[in-house]
Structure 1
Amino acid sequence: MSSSSEDQLNSFAAQNAYYTELITANPEWEFVDVYADKGITGTSAEKRDDFQRLLADCRRGRVDKVLVKSSSRFARNAKECLEVIRELKALGVGVCFEEQGIDTSELAGEFLTAIFAMMDQKESENISDNIRWSIQKRMAGGTFVPSSLPFGYKKDEEGGITIDPGRAEYVRGIFSDFLKGYNTQEIADRMKKCQSVDPALSPYQWTVKAVARILKNEKYTGNSLWQKSFRTPTLPRRSLTNRGELNQYYAPNTHPAIIDQAVFDKAQSLLRERKQHYFSKVKCGTPISGMLRCGHCGTLFRKQVNSGITYFICRTHTVYLDACPVGPVPERTIHDAFLRLYHKLRHQGISILTQLLTDLQAARRGRLLWSLDIVGLNQKIADITRQDRLLAQLKQQGLVDPDIFISRRNELAEQLRAAKLEKERFLEAEEDETIQQTQELIEALEAGPDFLDAFDGELFRELVDKIIVESNNPPAVPAGQRSGADRAHRTDGAVMGSNRKRPFGYKMEFGEVVLHPAEAETVRWIYNSYLAGASYNALVNELRERGISYDGDKPWNKNMAARILADRRYIGEGGFPPIIPEGQFHMVQVRRQERASPCKKTPAQKELRKLYGGNPPAWVERQMLGLLNRLIRHPELIICPALEEEPPPEAKKLRRELDELLHRPPVDEAQAKRLALQLAALQLNDIGPEEYETLRLRRLFQGRAPMAELEQELLHESVRGITVSNGTVTVLLKNNQTLEGGKCT
């Protein structure tokens, strides 16, 4: 009903009785329930509890046909009306509008419903426009009084605005603390402490935004600025900040002031200064932003760009190196991991997720069947229904006065509605959304593409809730296939992100970078020794003999020494305290240039060196070129290695435990859910990347022209590692397939 007046309440009871008798009198129909919302607007389906209960019962398969008095009682929002009609039609549920004579299950039903829904919506919009016009006239005339007042004010007996002395004192305290230098978080924390001892504060949520709203509200000066925000005139209605779309109305001295105007102006000036200082930088987010959380310390990762490469790094690790060992993760690594995960879920995971959904639903049914709360509510609903039928029988026999009948019928209808809503709320509260989320995940995967060639940010946000980074260590190589590949992984890890964020020779002390005395002395020794003629090997050997540590227990190597000799931060750049005189640094750079080899390696040769674990002979490069060109000409040679189809023993054990639990009433839903999720995770983790990588490699090699010389990108994207034995190169592809001597094995 669109009104809660007495006449409408009587009509409400009469309509309930009419449809109950109409359905129960038809032997071909089975009465499910009456769904009716009293005094609630039909322009938004979300606000209508019984309407949502009807949709839930339709989705559960309890309803085949819905009878409605008129289209205006079903919905006054044309878009929502058609969406619901189409959803119910897909579920096999027809809607009959008695007043218009429309049945949506018929051919022209949806078209006619759309026409009447637009008429109903227009009628609702006209009523809203008239009310809005009236409010704006009162704003312009200075006579408008809002329905709700800011914290610190109340209405007197005549409806005027007056100060609430107890709460007004807190408002003055908020302004005073802010001007003393406290930030909004500190003020909110203080208000929360006061909330526990002062009942006047208990109805409010004291957050940073709540404090900020008080500090920005001009009404505490006794003046009013109306229409700072507005609701859109069309459906769906949304509240928007007024940025010039509509007129604003400033009315001075509309009520008593709590804060002096000068104090308010100082607070606004301070707010602007802090906003400029802390929020002036433009943030550029990515689909991954806010999704990564450290598995070691629990903090969020933040984005960082280094040498043109985007990383995500633990905030704790950035500030306190020793507090968290999880280092930075390249954005490309996350993209590649998602592509592998999506293929696994899309092609091999849907059946696992479907079984998970079945197990979760079985666990829920098994628990609710024995729930005392549900049994009690069902009994209460049955008792109210019996009382209503008895009352109807007494009315037919003339044993009840009509006024008493209507009053009592209204009471029973309200009790029945309240009991049904309580049951629905209980079911919704008990459901932790895992079932719905699993269903949505399956639907998203079924609607997604078969194969992702590139990272899809929108699909990523739809499928992924969060990412826990347990470690940034590179993946292990299968036993018997390591050698050069294993060395390549270690090298990639060092290049990808060393845990050392400050140069050797420095440390953090009270939030500032200062010299590390012992390490700084070692840096000076390295520079002096190099100028005296020592080679990289000589420096490394001497450092190892002295037992000097580099970044924990890492052994010294030539790259470390070279980085130290090339780092300009040692002469004070980047805000670091200088260790080396600038003249000495430039002398070292000249010496390094003189010693540099005139023959520079290509990017592909550098990549090959990583995979080989050292400088490979020229014939290795030639064999690699031949092997990759063979794959370019014949990509069908890339095949997926034979995979183990037998499920792991642990999965069989969990399946038995879960089946036993589901068949032992009353079902422990929490334990069953835990086992079901554990089983699904085990099955998904048991699926390797070989199938995805095989498809990716075929697409990578298809359509390429044979290479005249090795290409770094193709080498990096396709080869996991190489080994050499008896003059033959063995290549380990990214799908764990091996190629030996140019022949596929």
Structure 2
Amino acid sequence: METAVTAPRQKIITKIEANPALASRKNSNRPLNVAAYCRVSTDAEDQINSYRAQVSYYTEHINQNPKWRFVNVYADEGITGTMVKKRDGFLKMIRDCEKGKIDMILTKSVSRFARNIVDSISYVRKLKAMGIGIYFEEQNIDSLKEDSETYIGIYSVMAQSESENISANISWGIRKRMQNGTYACRFNMLGYRKEKGETEPRIIPEEAEVVRNIFKMYDEGHSLDQIKAYLESKSIKTPTGKPVWSKENIRKMLTNEKYVGDVIYQKTYRTDCISKHTKINRGERTKYLVSNNHPAIVDRDLFNAVQAELVRRSSKRKTSDKTLTSLGKYSGKYALSELLICAECGSPYKRKTWTQGDEKRIYWRCLSRIEHGKKYCPYSKGLEENKLHSAICRALKAAMNENAEALALIKANLAYAVTGDEANLDLGAIEKRIKEATKEMENYMASYRNTGGDKTRYLECIQKVADEIKSLRAQEATAKAKLEKSTEVNSEIKRLCDWLDSHDTTFSEYDDMVIRRVVECIKVFKDGTIKVITKFGTEATETV
């Protein structure tokens, strides 16, 4: 077999010309391309005048020298010298140096070039490696000379130290204003406006109504996703004017104490004046709470209830074995997802849809039974949704039938739930016993009047019950005084009682919002009965 003969490769050589701007630097007789850099750190009028004077001076100074060619005056106005990344003029100058457009830079002083020793030395070395010198007029230093770096380093340390001293003095002044409650904070948020020169923010009524709706919706059980969908469906824009809301922005609104009229100073802080890295203050620095600082948009009781609900939802544990993390997820779609519990295994119930042909039924099933079959929960019952809703309404009607009479018990249970003090439970028991003892006395009095025989026995019984009622009244007064002193308890009681007065509690129809507000949990037993436990400490059992 003959081997194929390959033609010899022919090399192709292409000449790539040198960059004229870079190659011409070695020519000592050529005119130098000279630029200047100037910077002022504040927007004060005298600083702006200084800035304009520097630009004018360097433009004229470079053009007057026949051996120099004017490139540009790079400037940063109202920008700190401690961070290079925010100085657009400086960075543009460095890019032009890398492109070979500049041979020499003039600047007033080391502190104008940079107030950060690391940035100062690193950029001096970088430019020096490219053959570009920096002339600092105030210190009379040329960075291309051999001993220049030592002097530049000394002056850079002095400039950085000066910045640190200025920063410390400013921080001290800010802290003093925070302590006095006179520090002016920003109000770039939905519901408020604060223009320059105004001492107090103004409430924008239409925006304030949106804020209140957000808080109410969350308190009534809506999820962040549902609130987000509501806001976008109503074409309500974010504080920055965007049509799309994020859940994180809504969460920040719900935790913002400014909506209740308070301000917390120093929630964040800067670690140092050089890096300017901002951190959340988790206790490393002192915070200052100023209460009633400005007009509130949201009622304080509602705000506190929302904070408690945020904590409750964030502390939920997982309910399904199929989830990857140990954290649970709040469901705002159906109230029963949070409330319906299997009494046999303790797992929550889950809403399922059963379809066969055109027939469709909604039912609720134990989550453990769904995921593991009869292995862990062999006796739990599946409940048809319509029948379940009806049973819950009947149970609530029975539990709340004597609402006025049970108010003392409700208050006692609420007080115990809020404070954890078992003494609060005594009030309900005391009032119940007073009512029973009063009825006993009425019976003894009737017997005393009607009997024709010896009345001594009845008099002794009447005296004994009277002494007991007197003792109970004293205990009741003590318990009530203690309860009335608790602002937290009374605000929660008032909130729930007001809610009961303003809503239909006949439970003629099932309503997710009402169920969320009234029901603590619902236990489902294997015989098909449910036990509805209300947030007021009452309960009722009903067959589905």
Indicate the structure (1 or 2) with the bigger Cα radius of gyration.
2
